[in-house]
Amino acid sequence: HGAQHLVDALRWKPKQFMAVLDLLTQPFCPPGAPLDEVVTY
């Protein structure tokens, strides 16, 4: 489901998708970060 969510994000918000990719290439952001809700898997 997580991968599908990323696909949907790419579909309607490329900038958010790129932000998620940037997140995945770095250590997990601290709790309370804006993208914390996006990464649910």
Count Cα atoms within 13 angstroms, Cβ side, for 1.
4
Buried b (16+ CB within 10 A) or exposed e, 8-41: ebeeeeeeebeebeebeeeeeeeeeeeeeebeee
pLDDT value, residue 4: 79
pLDDT tens digits for 11-33?
Answer: 767 787 778 778 777 765 555 55
> What is the distance between the alpha carbons of residues 17 and 10, in angstroms, rounded to a whole number?
5
3-state secondary structure of 2: helix
Q: How confident is the model at residue 2 (pLDDT cuts 50, 70, 90)?
A: low
Residue 36 has pLDDT above 60, yes or no: no
